[in-house]
Structure 1
Amino acid sequence: MVKKTPRKSSSGPKSGKRGFVYPDFELTATKSKTFQIKYKKKLSTVAKLILSSFHNKYIYYAIDDILYSFQLNSTERENLLAILYSPILSLQNSFSINFFDIWVHEIYVNEVPKINRFLKNDSLNLEQFSYITIKFYYRTKLPPKKRDSLW
């Protein structure tokens, strides 16, 4: 009697296939674009940690991290998504870049206190806003050639 062994799936985690691979930028034709966004509210520590985790991350995963973070309140979640969506839409509209060809290379948060110069005691009336600098890498593709008609 011959014993049959079950087939191994080639799409498992040990097969070496990964969904979205961060590209090797020396080998591929990629470009970069830097955006600076002024965020007028104070960022929570959770939001800062989430933003700092975006270094060298595929944009799809960055959005996923924001959407499924249970420690963010809904207002802050929407604001962080708007911070990412705005430059992505700019890249898509300006350069016709596919959503799946964008990576976050670097992200920096610079908090700046807004000082009221007319009051003597500045420590009580400090408002804070942040500059968020995001550097995206993106890959451009040639548009498909239009085929000549047969007649």
Structure 2
Amino acid sequence: MNRILYENRCKCNEEFSIAKKRKLKTLSEGKPFQYPKSREITSKTFQIKYQKNLSLTAKFILNSFQNKYIYYAIDDILYSLRSEPIERNNILAVLYSPIISLQNNFSVNFFDIWIREVYIEEVSKTNKFLKTDSQTLKKFNYITIKFFYKTRVPVKKQESLW
């Protein structure tokens, strides 16, 4: 919070509030996450097969993640899909698994990950031997997520004195 509320009473005994802006203690306080410079970023693409049907809300949320910081994307999913906990948990699992892969395989910090692009491809698989297609359709989605992350120079560990 950048504002401090002061409660005062006027002469007519009505309560009112005055907002006064306080000084920032650090340079990064109150600022959004800094978008990385082009020389610092590396990208990685993941394709996930999602077996269940995606709702229109979930598709809209996933398509809104273009050039979005990962923390904000997770916050959007938690807020927008709070009335549908099963789908929320499935979408979070789709997002968490590539993030954990980036952390484990490339030592990427969670706070250095952005989503560049999200593509959703709906595929229906039919049974070639049956004539009625309505009963044999199996729908699933391919969700392609392109992440980019900030690469940092590893910190050199100091040798002990003894």
The counterpart of 1:66, out of the listed 68, 77, 80, is 77
SS at match of 1:119: coil
Which AA in structure 2 matches 1:37? I
Which AA in structure 2 matches 1:86? S
Count of residues paired in the alignment? 141
Q: Structure 1 length as normaliser, TM-score?
A: 0.84
Q: Which residue of 2 aligns with 1:78?
A: 89
The counterpart of 2:31, out of the listed 15, 18, 36, is 18
Gaps of 5+ in 2: 1-18
Q: 1:40 to 1:113 in 2, by over 3 A?
A: same
Contact 2:51 2:139 (C-alpha < 8 Å) held by counterparts: yes
Greater displacement, 67-76 / 78-87:
67-76
Structure with the higher fraction of residues in strand conformation? 2
- Identity across matched positions, percent: 60
Which AA in structure 2 matches 1:50? I
Whole-angstrom CA distance in 2 between matches of 1:106 and 1:81: 16
Whole-angstrom CA distance in 2 between matches of 1:51 and 1:75: 16
Deviation at 1:17, TM superposition (A): 5.1
Which AA in structure 1 matches 2:48? I
Gaps of 5+ in 1: 1-5
Which AA in structure 2 matches 1:150? L
Contact 2:40 2:152 (C-alpha < 8 Å) held by counterparts: no
Q: Structure 2 length as normaliser, TM-score?
A: 0.78
Query: Larger Cα Rg: Structure 1 or Structure 2?
Result: 2
Contact 1:111 1:129 (C-alpha < 8 Å) held by counterparts: yes
Q: Which protein, 1 or 2, shows the higher relative CO under an 8 Å CA cutoff with sep ≥ 6?
A: 1
The counterpart of 2:105, out of the listed 54, 78, 94, is 94
